[in-house]
Amino acid sequence: MASHYVPQTRIPTIVFPTANQASRHVALMIESLIRQNNSAGRATVLGLATGSTPVGLYRELIRLHKETGLDFSRVVTFNLDEYFPMRADDPHSYRRWMQETFFNHVNVLPQNIHIPDGMVPAMEVEDYCAQYEQKIRRAGGIDLQILGIGRTGHIGFNEPGSTRHCRTRMVTLDPVTRRDASSSFFGEHNVPHQALTMGVGTILEARKIVIMAFGEHKGGIVQQALEEEMSDAVTASYLQKHADTTFLLDEPAAACLAAMRRPWVIGPVRWTPVLIRRAVIWLSLKVGKALLKLSDDDFREHHLYELLREHGPGELLGRRVFDEMMGTLCTQPAGAESANILVFSPHPDDDVISMGGTIIRMVAQSQKVHIAYMTSGNIAVFDHDAWRFTDFVVEFNRLFEIDERHTDAVKERVHEFLRTKSPGQPDSEDLLKIKALIRTTEARAGALACGIPPEQLEFMDLRFYRTGTIAKAPIHAQDVADIVELLKRLGPKQIYVAGEMSDPHGTHRMCAEAIFQAVREARGQGLQFEVWLYRGAWEEWEPHEVERVVPLSPEDLERKKAAIFRHQSQKDRAMFPGGSDRREFWQRAEDRNLHTAKVYDSLGLPEFYALEGFVQWHGDGVR
């Protein structure tokens, strides 16, 4: 599906199939602007953002610089914001992030780079912010401002309540913003309470603004900014009054917009089988009637006249979708004959959290299930767990008289590092190894609870993850080669991939991209297998998206929960719980599986205790 404008939004909006395509589009806009200004001997003034959203943009600009000679020597940059207080060399500093992510790889002159100083004395902040505004004006104003949008609707760090005319200043961060940043700081308690930010008025003075949003978790706030009245509760909505702003979204971030959620309300549509299914399921759940009970009046009363006229009557439409949904029910997901099945798990617990019940069913049906853990997951282990396990190994070795001298030396290094470790400081090599070992042994225990022996487990430790920090490196060519080699060695009938894409540059998405590259290569070499996508801990596929559901009995679900419990370092309180959801992973998994079964029951389909859903990947999209 190509990119397209979305009708009836208050700000021009383009939706792209993927975040990478949207990022490339913005990079080409910037390239065109820079080349045009360079040829005229003028500077190009860019307003830049940080965070996961623009990472793809910066990587594409770096590629254009290295491969096509895009010259940044006349570019002047102004960054939106910085935490306060924050040293420039701190791992969480936006100044350092910009250097490592972008500036170190292109030829922007150091004197042309402007990033708010997080260590300005508090008494001087007001004057410093006024000077930052003056520097922007002296540069001739910002030609193109790049923005992201926070879950509170903030642009920069202009939190709810910021006025339309506010300028560069110090702000107090919203609790939601601090919570969202907690993963980068290894805990919410390490996130600064304040920041320096360009004001809304400053941003609105840019000649052109591009705001990007990627992932399902941005869908709700994007809808508010684009479809609701301008309000200081959502500062991104102020962009409705800007003369040249464009929203660029991937499909998940656009999912809550009326034109995407219910396009038949906006205007005439082409009634494809997928859209028919979506509309009829929506209607069934909206009116609280089973599919086989829908009437013509239900369609007429909910803006579905055209569907009724072109494909009705209502009884026929209900029967059609009922039959389709019945076809998704699958009690033997891997078929009747025994075969190799390969489950890719981005972290060492995604397999059991997301599709543990299906794994249990396949093992019970004599399928040989292999699990490939793609990353170590070591940054998601608390320091106190590493301390405890270090103590355990020392006492274990002492008890059995095993190399006590060397063990004590390792313990002393680890304990000394932990005693002096500053908040949010990346772990030492010793600590990363210990935390990886914790996750590895938990994964073996979790898989065994599902009936999978250790010899059917693969610990890939892909290179892109080995940064020791939240920020990840690009996918390494050898990572893809390793996956291809694994596919060739096992020759699976089916593979299962995490299709949870909320974070456009998070581990799940990057693992999926690496797998998809490998699948294309493997298929090009003659390998044939099905590719099924499962969702992560946060949400299930929408009912109209589901192509297969696997029924789980109460016993299956209890065994699945027992497997999740084996991941003790993620129990009770996980390092990265995800957003504001305080439920434990086993609770999310149980609630999701029970909810999917209730949805099927509401549609008038057979009643099950719990269901796990899957979507098939066909090479260029899921459907």
Q: Phi/psi at 71 (nearest 5 deg)? A: -95, 115
Q: Is residue 563 within 8 Å of 586, Cβ to Cβ?
A: no
H/E stretch holding 282:
helix 273-287
Which residues carry out catalysis? 159
**Residue 351 in tokens:** 């397999």
Residue whose C-alpha is closest to residue 146's, from 59, 40, 248: 248
Please confirm whether the linkage preceding 85 is cis (ω < 30° from 0): yes
- DSSP one-letter string for 503-554: STTSHHHHHHHHHHHHHHHHHHTT---EEEEE--SS-PPPTTT-SEEEEE-H
CA gap 391, 407 in Å, rounded: 10
Q: In 3-state terms, what secondary structure has residue 188?
A: helix
- Helix, strand, coil tally for the chain in percent (to 5): 45, 15, 40
- DSSP one-letter string for 157-174: TB-TT--TT--SEEEEPP
Q: Is residue 66 within 8 Å of 102, Cβ to Cβ?
A: no
- DSSP one-letter string for 401-412: T--HHHHHHHHH
- Give residue 257's identity as a one-letter amino acid code: L
The residue to which tokens 């490998």 are assigned:
518
